[in-house]
Amino acid sequence: MSFTRPEPPYYAVVISSALSGEDPDGYAAMAVRMAELGARQPGYLGRESQTGADGRELTVLYYRDTESITAWQRHTEHLEAQRLGKQRWYADYHIEVARVERAYGFQRS
Amino acid sequence: MSFTRPEPPYYAVVISSALSGEDPDGYAAMAVRMAELGARQPGYLGRESQTGADGRELTVLYYRDTESITAWQRHTEHLEAQRLGKQRWYADYHIEVARVERAYGFQRS
């Protein structure tokens, strides 16, 4: 558990992506910048992310509400990152916006 | 994109987990069995899963509706797997049930 979640409802953005292999340094720098900037946006709650041995990345970003997601999607610097992402960095991606309705967990004592 | 998604709304179950390290062969066998059995349940749509270098696994299972999720959760063999998971295999897990409201993607041409 990388962060403390609030009680549902809240929102999850599920991103499954693969890189093109083009300009890896540019991508890495932008990924760090977007993670920092994104984490400072109103309504951002936290993230979970794993990259597999096949290079595919699965990331879930959490937000308080859809307004927070829309505002980040339209952020000027993020729009430029999205443009470059499609032009250079991504082979493909799939994004889903989902409303978390219930949540539960287990922690070994 | 490991499977063709329907148009929203549909459901996503987000599972973030870490193993305890106990009985890895038993866990591996059960994971294969549950993936096979789970994929045959009514309403199951597909999955995305990545395991990081740190050993944490992030998995998203997709379903047509909440009834399909509940039915699988209560499946006799799956209940036994859940019991053993808490007893032996998992250090921790966090599960969220979320309604996918919109989805979009990009594929390099």
Residue B60, exposed/middle/buried by CB under 10 A (0-12, 13-18, 19+)? buried
Chain B hits for A102, Cβ within 8 Å: 96-97
Q: Say whether A61 sits in a helix, a strand or coil.
A: strand
Q: Say whether B70 sits in a helix, a strand or coil.
A: helix
| Residue B99 to residue A101, Cβ atoms within 8 A | yes
Nearest to A108 among B16, B20, B48 (CB): B20
Q: Which domains does chain B have, with CATH numbers?
A: 10-100 (3.30.70.100)
What would the two tokens of residue A85 be? 């992402």
| pLDDT, block means (10 residues), chain B with 109 residues | 86 97 97 97 97 92 98 98 98 98 95
CA-to-CA distance for B82 and B90, rounded, in angstroms?
10
- Bond prior to B9 in cis (omega within 30° of 0): yes
Residues A75-104 have a mean pLDDT of 98
> Given this model, what pLDDT does residue B38 score?
98
Residues A24-53 have a mean pLDDT of 96
Total-model pTM: 0.95
- Assess A12–B contact: CB distance below 8 Å, yes or no: yes
How close B91 gets to chain A, by Cα (Å)?
Answer: 5
How close B63 gets to chain A, by Cα (Å)?
Answer: 13
DSSP secondary-structure letter at B53? T
Residues A86-93 have a mean pLDDT of 97
> Given this model, what pLDDT does residue A109 score?
86
What would the two tokens of residue B107 be? 């594929």
What would the two tokens of residue A50 be? 């794993």
Complex prediction ipTM? 0.95
